[in-house]
């Protein structure tokens, strides 16, 4: 295959190679190599956009002029061309209009895509860096059994009356001061379908009614954590203390009005709820509720915790652009951190400390070998 | 029916409903304060269970036994004296005794390496510290509920309903006198 050797073609090849690294890298060194390749790109890290701009500036006004009918005024010029192509003049004029419009649209699309390419690459590299820094590994989500298994264990995944699927999943390990645990992060995308009747005037004094269907798309993020210290408890945080979708059979009210307004606490038994609602836990969860959007916590009967919310704990803010290559390299070298994920895992560790048995705490030796 | 009659009807129905709602709100808040206080007592008294084990362990270290045992006895009696009625003032003695006992244990830990190395003693210390954290958290919750209740009976129109129907007195929240004495500043409350 012949490869073009223009500035744009070389830049595109370099970006494509770096994007591949951003998807597959497993070490920081691979990412740094990709950043170095971008930084070493001779010429600047910008596409040469003279041709698309020229096309857009020529085709755009001409297309507008032809739509306005100015092209027809040049019939003597168009007639020979129409004859040559075997078309009538109006036919040629409308084809030219379409061609000019297409040319202008194509140029604008090329400009838009080129504008997004480098920032997207920077984001992808930083995102891969965040996964590597946090020691996270991707889990394939193509198997529908994975979501079904989660739905059996946790009610929070039973969402979306029209469609639901896992967009992405990663797994990692947390080493706290006292406890260590494995965790998985899931991104659930779901669609709710709603139908309602709309009545409108038929223009003859009567009304007609029609069924309108709308689709609402949502994203939900969750951490599933091995948590053997609590079982059979559910806390619904998005209902203002009223019943929520994760509720279990026994409802429980604590001594704190603030907590009861924040969460609906339910469990497999009233005793389990009473044991769980220690004052330190109540205050800790009120604090957690302030930090997260609509959090739910489900402690399954099999010793797993599902902490879900509408905020993505893997979100990060890109503080530097790839065009500032040396700063970007430094960012990747230090590693992109996920403060929200760390805060959530620390909060879960605090919960573990509150609910573990102080007389069977793991020794430092056990902590080392738990990996 | 004219407008005046409608307004009169609305007042005749609405006012009793508001009064009932305020009255029930005060009763509900008072019960919550009582429950929050009961939680404080529960967690204070749970400490006594740990004290049994602590007493047994301290007995093994004869030289230090007297100091720690005296601390445990003082805390036990302070917890036993806590009243059933919600009153933050009465907590000060138990909290002071806990602080003194934990301080004494820390001194003992430093003086006796065997004691410091004892896994059971460390676990007991962790347990008692956790119980103490729970007491602290229960007090925070109690004070929050006391504030809500006191606001309910001191602000109009709750104050009117309380003075006529409920007749509850404001509850004293818990304040740490020892901690407060460390500040030069005293708010003019």
Q: What is the DSSP letter of A228?
A: T
Q: Kindly report, residue by residue over A76-97, the tens digit of the pLDDT.
A: 777 777 778 777 777 877 888 8
The tokens for B101 are: 């006992």
Whether the predicted pLDDT of A350 surpasses 70: yes
Tens of pLDDT, residues A45-81: 778 788 888 888 888 888 888 887 777 777 777 777 7
Those residues whose C-beta lies under 8 Å from the C-beta of residue A288, and which sit 6 or more positions away, are A295, A347
Q: From the candidates A177, A280, A287, A351, which should be mutated to test the interface with B, based on the most B CB atoms within 10 A?
A: A280
Give the phi and the psi of residue B171 in degrees, each rounded to 5.
-95, 140
Task: Give backbone dihedrals phi and psi of A250, rounded to 5 degrees, phi first.
Answer: -105, 120
**Looking at the structure, do residues A302 and A329 belong to the same domain, yes or no?**
yes
- What are the chain B neighbours of A256 within 8 Å (beta carbons)? 36, 141, 144-145
Residue A1 domain flag = no
Higher-scoring residue by pLDDT: B123, B84: B123
- Distances in whole angstroms, Cα of residue A154 to Cα of each of A264, A289, B93: 16, 19, 46
Instruction: Count residue pairs from A and B with Cβ separation < 8 A.
Output: 50
Query: What is the model's pLDDT at position B114?
Result: 65
On whether residue B71 sits in a domain, the answer given is yes
C-alpha A328/C-alpha A318 separation (Å) is 10
A279 with B32: Cβ contact below 8 A: no
Query: What string of DSSP letters covers B33-52?
Result: HHHHHHHHHHHHHHHHHHHH
What pLDDT digit, counting tens, does each position of B106-125 carry? 666 666 666 665 677 777 77
Integer angstrom CA distances of residue A68 from A18, A32, A81, A104: 46, 54, 21, 16
Count of alpha carbons within 13 angstroms of residue B154, beta-carbon side? 9
User: Rounded to whole angstroms, how far apart are CA atoms B96 and A304?
Assistant: 40
Q: Cβ contact (<8 Å) for A361 and B126? A: yes
Q: A10 pLDDT band (50/70/90 cuts)? A: confident
pLDDT at B56 over 90: no
Write down the pLDDT at residue A42. 61
Residue whose C-alpha is closest to residue B169's, from B72, B33, B67: B33
Alpha-carbon span A183 to A307, nearest angstrom: 11
Is pLDDT of A348 > 90?
Answer: yes
Q: Which residue has the tokens 């793991």?
A: A362
CB-CB neighbours of A290 under 10 Å: 10
pLDDT at B171: 82
Q: Which of A255, A278, A282 sits opposite B32 (nearest CB)?
A: A255
pLDDT band at A342 (very low <50, low <70, confident <90, very high): very high
Residue matched to tokens 């000019």? A100
Residue B189, in any domain of the structure:
no
In what helix (H) or strand (E) does residue A351 lie, and over which residues does it extend?
Answer: helix A339-355
Q: Are the CB atoms for A311 and A343 separated by under 8 Å?
A: no
Q: Is A98 within a domain?
A: yes
Spatial distance between the Cα atoms of B41 and B22, rounded to a whole number of angstroms: 29
A6-12 own/partner pairs: CB under 8 Å, 24+ apart: A6/A48, A7/A43, A7/A47, A7/A48, A8/A47, A8/A48, A10/A41, A10/A43, A11/A41, A11/A43, A11/A45, A11/A47
Burial (Cβ within 10 Å: 0-12, 13-18, ≥19) of residue B52: exposed
- Cβ under 8 Å to B: A residues 326-355: 354
Asked if A153 is an interface residue toward chain B (Cβ–Cβ < 8 A), one would say no
Residue written as token pair 């168009």: A78
Contact A250, A270 (CB under 8 A): yes
- Ranges A147-161, A231-245, B6-20: which has the least confidence: A231-245
CA distances from A220 to A159, A263, B112 (A): 9, 18, 54
Q: Is residue B186 part of a domain?
A: no
And the tokens for A109? 């699309």
Same-domain status, A61 and A170: no
Q: Would residue B185 count as lying in a domain?
A: no
Cα–Cα distance for residue pair A333/A330, rounded to 1 Å: 5
Distances (CA, A) of A240 to A237, A246, A291: 7, 14, 15
Q: Is the pLDDT of residue A324 over 70?
A: yes
Does B177 map to a domain? no
pLDDT band at A369 (very low <50, low <70, confident <90, very high): very low
Rounded mean pLDDT, B160-167: 83
Residue ranges making up the domain that contains A121: 7-133
- Determine the residue among B39, B43, B124 to mutate to test chain A binding: the one whose Cβ has the most chain A Cβ atoms within 10 Å: B39
The answer for residues whose C-beta is within 8 angstroms of residue A10's C-beta and 6 or more apart is A41, A43
Same domain, A185 and A320: yes
DSSP string for residues in A288-335: HHHHSSS-EEEE-TTSEEEEEESS-TT-----S-TTSHHHHHHHHHH-
Q: Distance between CA B53 and CA B159 in Å, rounded?
A: 49
**Minimal-distance CA residue of chain A relative to B119:** A359
**Which one has a higher pLDDT value, B55 or A63?**
A63
- For residues A141 and A201, membership in a common domain is answered with yes
**Backbone angle region of A44, left / alpha / beta, with phi > 0 → left and psi within -120 to 50 → alpha:** beta
Residues A72 and A220 in one domain: no
- Assess whether A273 and A307 both reside in one domain: yes
CB-CB under 8 Å, A278 with B145: no
Is residue B50 in a domain?
yes
The CA radius of gyration of chain B, in Å to the nearest whole number, is 24
B180 domain residue, yes or no: no
Angle between helices A89-133 and A325-334 (to 10 degrees): 40
> Tens digit of pLDDT for each residue in A127-186?
999 999 999 999 998 888 899 999 999 999 999 889 999 999 999 999 988 889 999 999
SS3 label, residue A147 = helix
Return phi, psi of residue A242, to 5°: -80, 180
Q: Of A133, A151, A167, which marks where a domain is finished?
A: A133
Collapse the DSSP code of A23 into the 3-class scheme (helix H, G, I; strand E, B; otherwise coil) and give the result.
helix
CB contact under 8 A, A280 and B36: no
Mean pLDDT, rounded, for A251-261? 89
Domain count of the fold of chain A: 2
Q: Tell me the mean pLDDT in the region A307-333.
A: 88
Q: In which domain, by residue range, is B102 found?
A: 3-172
* Same-domain check for residues A71 and A27: yes
End-of-domain residue from the set A77, A106, A133 = A133
Domain finish residue from A113, A133, A153: A133
Kindly state whether residue A2 falls inside one of the protein's structural domains. Answer: no
**Tokens for A331?**
């960012």
Residues 263-302 of A with CB under 8 A from B: 278-280, 282-283
Domains: count for chain B: 1
When mean pLDDT is compared across A41-55, A159-173, A214-228, A324-338, the lowest value belongs to A41-55
Q: Is the pLDDT of residue B146 over 70?
A: yes
Describe the crossing of helices A28-39 and A89-133 by its angle, rounded to 10 degrees: 140
- State the pLDDT at residue A43: 57
Establish if A95 belongs to a structural domain: yes
Q: Helices B62-80 and B3-59: crossing angle, nearest 10°?
A: 160
Interface touch A258/B144, C-beta < 8 Å:
yes
């Amino acid at each position: 295959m012949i490869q073009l050797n223009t500035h744009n073609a070389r830049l595109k090849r370099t970006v494509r190679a770096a994007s591949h690294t951003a998807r597959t890298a497993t070490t920081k060194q691979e990412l740094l190599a990709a950043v170095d390749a971008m930084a070493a790109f001779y010429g600047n890290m910008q596409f040469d956009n003279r041709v698309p701009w020229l096309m857009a500036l020529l085709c755009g006004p001409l297309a507008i002029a032809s739509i306005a009918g100015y092209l027809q005024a040049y019939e003597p010029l168009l007639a020979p061309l129409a004859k040559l192509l075997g078309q009538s003049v109006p036919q040629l004029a409308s084809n030219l209009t379409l061609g000019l419009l297409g040319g202008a649209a194509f140029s604008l699309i090329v400009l838009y895509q080129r504008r997004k390419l480098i920032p997207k690459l920077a984001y992808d590299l930083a995102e891969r860096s965040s996964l590597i820094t946090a020691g996270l590994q991707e889990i394939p989500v193509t198997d529908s059994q994975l979501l079904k298994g989660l739905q059996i264990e946790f009610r929070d995944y039973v969402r979306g009356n029209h469609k639901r699927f896992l967009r992405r999943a990663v797994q990692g390990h947390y080493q706290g001061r006292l406890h260590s645990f494995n965790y998985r992060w899931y991104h659930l995308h779901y669609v709710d379908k709603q139908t309602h009747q709309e009545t409108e005037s038929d223009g003859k004094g009567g009304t007609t009614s029609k069924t309108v269907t709308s689709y609402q798309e949502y994203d939900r993020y969750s951490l599933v954590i091995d948590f053997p210290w609590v079982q059979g408890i559910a806390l619904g945080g998005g209902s203002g203390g009223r019943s929520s979708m994760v509720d279990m059979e026994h409802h429980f009210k604590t001594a704190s009005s603030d907590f009861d307004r924040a969460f609906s606490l339910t469990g497999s038994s009233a005793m389990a709820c009473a044991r769980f609602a220690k004052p330190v836990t109540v205050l800790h969860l009120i604090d957690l509720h302030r930090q997260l959007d609509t959090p739910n916590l489900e402690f399954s009967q099999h010793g797993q915790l599902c902490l879900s919310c509408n905020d993505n704990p893997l979100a990060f803010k890109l503080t530097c652009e790839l065009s500032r290559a040396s700063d970007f390299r430094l960012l990747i070298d230090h590693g992109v951190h996920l403060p929200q994920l760390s805060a959530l895992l620390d909060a879960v560790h605090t919960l573990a400390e509150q609910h573990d048995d102080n007389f069977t705490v793991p020794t430092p030796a056990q902590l080392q070998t738990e990996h | 029916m004219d407008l005046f009659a409608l307004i009169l009807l609305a007042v005749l129905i609405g006012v009793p409903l508001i009064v009932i709602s305020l009255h029930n709100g005060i009763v509900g808040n008072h019960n919550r304060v009582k429950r929050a206080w009961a939680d404080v007592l529960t967690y204070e008294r749970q400490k006594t269970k740990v004290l049994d084990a602590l007493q047994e362990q301290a007995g093994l270290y004869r030289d230090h036994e007297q100091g720690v045992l005296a601390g445990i006895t003082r805390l036990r009696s302070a917890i036993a004296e806590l009243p059933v009625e919600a009153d933050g003032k009465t907590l000060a003695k138990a909290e002071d005794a806990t602080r003194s006992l934990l301080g004494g244990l820390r001194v003992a830990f430093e003086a006796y390496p065997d004691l410091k190395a004892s896994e059971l003693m460390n676990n007991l210390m962790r347990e008692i510290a956790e119980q103490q954290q729970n007491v602290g958290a229960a007090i925070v919750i109690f004070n929050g509920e006391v504030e809500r209740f006191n606001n309910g009976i001191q602000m109009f129109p709750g104050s009117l309903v309380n003075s006529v129907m409920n007749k509850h007195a404001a509850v004293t929240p818990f304040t740490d006198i020892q901690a407060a004495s460390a500040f030069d500043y005293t708010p003019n409350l």
